[in-house]
Structure formats: structure tokens, C-alpha cells
Chains A and B, each alone.
Chain A
Amino acid sequence: MASITATDLAIEYPIFDSASRSMKKTIARAATGGRIAGDSRGLSVRAIDGISFSIDAGERIGLMGHNGAGKSTLLRALAGVYTPTSGSLIVEGSVASLIDLSLGMDDEFSGYENIFMRSVFMGIPKTVVKNKIDEIIEFSGLGDYIRMPMRTYSSGMRLRLAFSVCTAFPSDIVLMDEWLSVGDVDFKKIAEDRLSAFINKSSILVLASHSMKQVEKICTRVMFMESGSIAQISTL
């Protein structure tokens, strides 16, 4: 059963300038007791400031808030990129991140090869990809272009391919930064259907968005974030 539980979750980024990235300066500072004014020792940004929440199977969560409120950081923490600085975060179930669709794809390679490249980063075994490959190619609508290097693609074609791969393998938990809109008017409609079907197969959706309309349409609960804390949670 998929679930997400956060208890006093805090994520703190260290801020480095060229001085604190330097080993010499760090050692020199240790020797002088770190009293030099104006240096950046210990300077950090608390992107997530001790929040607690739990998400159960079947929930669709909308994350709302201003730029820099901590939405993207929270998504990355859920994806396992940032380990909590303090507190705990327990994510049960497989996670699919739709934040960067074309992650790991390479322009020099054909669309066909890139389907495998993209799947490697999603942790999908080659045999599973092979079973789905015809369906992915068909949905991407690239036809014979699939054998051409990706550098010959238009940006719309790239996105269609990436989108087709990313939504081919269902996952327990889906993370999204803004609702996707892909391609021209015709494709937009079938992409929308595919995305909805993909999300329906998942157990939890966490969608960071600026659009209240979009969140109201899809989500069951909204979390409003404000400078790293949860300002309000409301059920829709």
C-alpha cells in the first residue's frame, strides 16, 4: 500500500560561495575559530521548515504556494533526492517523477535508443521496455522518425517522445511540477487522456501547481505552502 508520512521534516541547503567550497579556506577558518565576519560559514537556506503531514493511498494532493515556498524542494525530497536534514520522511511505494520528462535523453541517439535510455533512469528493466516499445512508438506518433537521431527532432517531437515513455510504466506514486501540456491541439487531447489514465493507475499523486483551477479539477486535498511551512491544508 502506497503512503507518505513526514514528521517534522526539514530540508536545509548549505549556501556555498567560492570561499567555502575551498578546502584551504575551511581549514584556515577552523584554525581561526570561524570568527571572520562576512564569511558564509553556516549560512544555509531552510527550504522546508519542520513540516508534518501524511498522505494515504488514493489521495491526490495539490501543492500550492508562491515561488520559493518550498514546493519543488518537497517534490525532490519525495523523489529521494534530498534526504531530510532533520525529522523523517517515509515514502512507501514506487515513485515516478514527471518533473523532468527528458531526463537522461541524448541528442546524438535515435528516438528508439532514447526510449531505452530514458527507461534506464526510471529503473525499468530492458525486457519490460521491449514489451511496451511498440505502444510507446505508436503513441509518440513519430513514425519513421523514431530511427533518426533526436537532434533532428523539433522541440514538440522531443516532448511527445519523452511524454510517451514517462507515462508508459505505471507507478504507485506520481510527482508532478505543474500539469503537463504537450504538443499541438490534436495531440493535447489524447495526451491529456493518457496522462489521466496514467495517474488513475497510480495510488498517490502530488502535483505542485500555481493554478487553483487545475488543482480543484484533479486533487482531493490542497496543501498551501508558505516559506517552507504548511500554511493551510484543506480538503476539496
Chain B
Amino acid sequence: MWFSLGWHDIKHRYRRSLIGPFWITISSGIMVGCIGLVFSAIFRTPVAEFLPYFATGQIMWLFISGQISDSCSTFIQHQSIIKQISVPLSVYILRSLWNNLILLFHNLIIVAAILLFTRRGFSWEIIYALPALVLIITLLFLVSITLGIVCTRFRDIIQVVGVSLQLLYFLTPILWKKSVLPVEYSWITEINPFSNMIEIIRAPFLGHAPAAMLWVHLLAYIAGATVIALFFIRNYRHRVAYWL
């Protein structure tokens, strides 16, 4: 069900528009290109080195932050359906997740183009990207369920999440590299789950295997998020219709 609904959302974007979601590819492509060129000049790093690093991180960030901010209003957006028929809440979350994932695949064209353009190409380490993506999706799913339920009850959390995401963008090594961080501040990336998610999926694209600790941490985040999500599902799943 979520599969056909998410697919439907994408088809909706293609309607009355020749290239549909590729507008998003174009706009994020332009953004990645411009910021990449400007900052490689500011940081005095060669474009061929900075651009692939930044592009991969940025595109993944767009996926992760896009899904998290969508999840806050998912139930509110579909309230006309939720108030009429009984469908598991996870269907709505999977629908938006699937939607964002398809957009990610549109955007990955940019990453592929940049990697080829800067002659980095792909190496066999790219296969690590697959399990990394699966784990990221799992974590996002769990976080989305929790946020969806909480934001339906407390509507101002939606704004809090929006502001936090903006802040986290600068605390996550996307524009900058971990190595430029003074040692006393390195904990920022250690405890930041976004940093973990970005790094674990960026490494395979740049031809490295992700560090073992990244897998361990990500699995720990998933375990934690599972406990929280289960708590909210068990206790508040039936309240969502009342809160809408």
C-alpha cells in the first residue's frame, strides 16, 4: 500500500511538468556546484578534492533532513484519511520515506556526474553504500514514527525540529572536514548521529570502507531509536486520530 501511494506522490510531481522531480536534481545540482566551487576557493582546497566530498555529504543530508522534517507533518497532512479509515500509521511514514528515497535516487545523478567529472570514478568500496543506506533508512523510519506522533500532539515541535536541523547542518561535517576540527571539539562529531550517518555513506562513494566504529555507533542509535519508537507506538498509536 505505501509502495503504490509513495509512487503515486512521485507521479504527481511528474504531472503537468516535462521533467518532474528532475527539477529537484537541477536545483540541488546548481546549489551543490556553486557552494562547492565557492568553498573550495575559501578553504583553498582543489575543487576535484572538495567537490565530491561536499556533493556526497550534501545530497545525503538533503535526504536525511528532508525525511525528518517531512515526518513531523506526515500525520497532520494525511488527517483527512486518518480520520476516516483505519490504516496502520507506519503506512504513512513508509509513504514519505519511499518518496524521499526516490528523490534521493534522482539526486544521486549529481553525485555520479561529479565523481566522473572529477575523474575519481567509482571503486569497489561503493558496495558498502548499500548496507549503510539500509541502516540509515531503518534509523530514519524509527525516528520518523516517534517524531510524527510527538509532532501531532505538540505542534510547536515541528518548528523546533526545523530550527534544530538548520543548526545541525553546521555541526555535521558536510561543508568542513573532521580533520579541521580542533581536538577538544571532536566530540561534536562523535555524538552527532547525523555526522555518523553522513560519514558512513560518504566513505564508500569516495572509495573508502567506512570505519568499524561507525557501524557500531549506527547500530546503537538504531537500538535506541527502536526502544523509543516502540514506546510511542504502544502507548500513543491510538491517540493520533484524536489529536488531529
Contacts and interface: CB of A to CB of B under 8 A. Distances in A.
Do the two chains belong together in a single complex? yes
Interface of A: 13-14, 16, 18, 21-24, 26, 76, 79-83, 97, 99-100, 103-104, 106, 108-109, 116-117, 120-123, 126
A16 B155 CA distance: 11
Interface of B is mostly: helix
A122 B81 CA distance: 11
A121 B81 contact: yes
Contacts of A13: 242
A117 B8 contact: yes
Given A14-B243, A16-B243, A121-B85, A83 B154 contact: no
A156 to B, nearest CB: 22
Contacts of A108: 12, 15-16
Contacts of B85: 79-81, 97, 103, 121-122
B178 interface: no
B76 to A, nearest CB: 11
Contacts of B87: 121
6 contacts: A24-B156, A79-B86, A81-B83, A83-B241, A97-B85, A103-B80
Interface of B: 1, 4-5, 8, 11-12, 15-16, 80-87, 153-157, 160, 238, 241-243
Contacts of A83: 238, 241
A22 B15 CA distance: 38
Contacts, number: 65
Q: Which of B4, B84, B85, B156 has the most CB of A within 10 A?
A: B85
B155 A104 contact: no
Nearest to B14: A108
Contacts of B154: 21-23, 26
B149 to A, nearest CB: 13
B29 to A, nearest CB: 26
A22 B8 CA distance: 33
A21 B242 contact: no
Contacts of B11: 109
Q: What are the 4 tightest A-B residue pairs by CB atom distance, in nearest-first order?
A: A80-B86, A83-B238, A23-B154, A21-B155
Nearest to B153: A21
Given A21-B154, A81-B86, A106 B12 contact: yes
A99 B242 contact: no
Q: Which of A26, A79, A103, A108 has the most CB of B within 10 A?
A: A108
Q: Which of A18, A26, A104, A109 has the most CB of B within 10 A?
A: A104
A76 B155 contact: no
A229 to B, nearest CB: 20
B163 to A, nearest CB: 14
Given A13-B242, A76-B83, A76-B84, 17 more contacts: A18-B155, A21-B153, A23-B160, A24-B156, A26-B154, A81-B83, A81-B85, A97-B84, A99-B84, A100-B84, A103-B84, A106-B8, A109-B8, A109-B15, A120-B4, A122-B85, A123-B1
